[in-house]
Chain A
Amino acid sequence: MKNKYLVPIIFIVALFIPLDFSFYFFPPAILYLMFLDIHLFCFLRRISFLLFVIILLIVQPMVIGEKDFLLLGIKFSTSGFYNGLIMIFRAVVMIPAINYLSKTAGRKKLQSLFAKLGLKNYDEILDHSQKLFPLLKEKTKEFFTKAERKKIFNPIELSAQLLAFLIKAAHSYTAKTKEENVL
């Protein structure tokens, strides 16, 4: 079966699988995703994910369920630990699956999606936005390096001055490029 079907199926199954069957499903699903692309599991090294691991595997057994296990003088619940382990396994399947699916979302697919949603001129607006990108960077730098701007301390005034500067720049840039195209 093609990956484009199998990965969404893994995602949906991981979302709805009952707790009793999850231990049989998650390990093969993780193995499959690992063989598909090992880089999908880079999130395992992230601090935010490790924080969830600590909360679910250490803190959760201390506060949820019947305390039936003693470690280093602290009472833990094995049911809480088991529950946390399932939650971690679930995330280890769900996150790479979504990551893989988001990689396949190209500009063409988004374009057709937004066209279906009835968003007109989406492609033209996106093209023009990408053209404005370097201009905005350049003009913002120019704005903040000008001496008189440094005297403005009111955040509303500063934002308004910057915005007015960018609006004028964007309009003159568009007029200029249009003129060049005509010529």
Chain B
Amino acid sequence: MKVKPHLYDEVFLFEIMMKKEIDQNEFISTALFGALWGLIEISLGTILHASKIPFRGTVLTIIAVVIITISRSFINYKGSIIAISSVAATLKLITLPGFNITPFIAIMMQGTIAEIVFSFFTYNLVSSLFTGSLILLYTLIHSLIMQGIFFGFGIYNVYLEILNSIGKAINYEGEISLILIPVIVFLYIFIGASAGWFGYATANRTREILQESVV
């Protein structure tokens, strides 16, 4: 007689947690979300780059947060987001000519941050909001880090001095950077959380649509 493994059986649980091979559905979904992210990075990235509008990276990151939170709803194996981000980053690096190493690093970091958060917390609205906030916050820090590497870390001093000079020009007593920097950080956190919420809501609705079509 074949004994069905019990849910509380330690070995059975261990097998679920340490999934070594991905199944066909997970494989297709990983490739799909990787391709989707890569496609958006390449097509929309090129349009934004040509349009020269500011905050191009932030716009792409908001979309990346939405894709990440949606993808985690469909592919929940360990390392799934890193797999998706590595596909998107590679597609961007090998498809477009020129200077693409910074977006490559950014995409990989976004995937890594999301993977860490979703490894510690289960996938739900709160973890989606948290992931979105952290990724957007990273985007803000990423551009500052890259500027520090390229121009030297003295550039931060230049920014602070420029901000404080603007404060003095509008007759603000004290350092205006102490107000402006937290406001910018809060704004990024808020936008990231909103993107996370949008992704979570979209994932739930997509599931409903797919279930309806099956029925």
Point out residues on A near B: beta carbons under 8 Å. 15, 42-43, 47, 52, 55-56, 59-60, 62-64, 83-84, 86-88, 90-91, 94-95, 98-99, 101-102, 105-107, 110, 114, 117-122, 124-126, 128-130, 132-133, 136-137, 155-157, 159-161, 163-164, 166-168, 170-171, 174
B22–A132 touching, CB < 8 Å: no
Which residues does chain A contribute within 8 Å of B34, judged by CB atoms? Answer: 125-126, 129
Q: Given A132-B35, A156-B201, A159-B202, A122 and B86 touching (CB < 8 A)?
A: yes
Partner of B28, one of A106, A159, A171: A171
CA distance A129 to B39 in the complex (A): 10
CA distance A42 to B206 in the complex (A): 44
State how many angstroms separate the Cβ of B84 from the closest Cβ of chain A.
9
A174–B213 touching, CB < 8 Å: no
Q: Given A128-B28, A129-B38, A136-B35, A52 and B213 touching (CB < 8 A)?
A: no
A157–B205 touching, CB < 8 Å: yes
Size class of B's contact patch? 35 or more
Partner of B162, one of A15, A63, A90, A167: A63
Partner of B205, one of A95, A118, A160: A160
B70 within 8 A of A: yes
Partner of A125, one of B24, B74, B87, B206: B87
Q: Given A52-B151, A98-B101, A167-B32, A114 and B210 touching (CB < 8 A)?
A: no
Number of A-B contacts (CB under 8 A): 152
B82–A119 touching, CB < 8 Å: yes
Q: 10 tightest CB-CB pairs across the interface, nearest first? A: A160-B205, A102-B101, A128-B31, A129-B35, A164-B209, A132-B35, A160-B206, A170-B32, A87-B151, A91-B150
Point out residues on B near A: beta carbons under 8 Å. 20-22, 24-25, 27-32, 34-36, 38-39, 52, 66, 70, 74, 79, 82-83, 86-87, 90-91, 93-94, 98-101, 104, 147, 149-152, 154-155, 157-158, 161-162, 165, 198, 201-202, 205-206, 208-210, 213
B202–A160 touching, CB < 8 Å: yes
Interface of A, secondary structure class, is helix
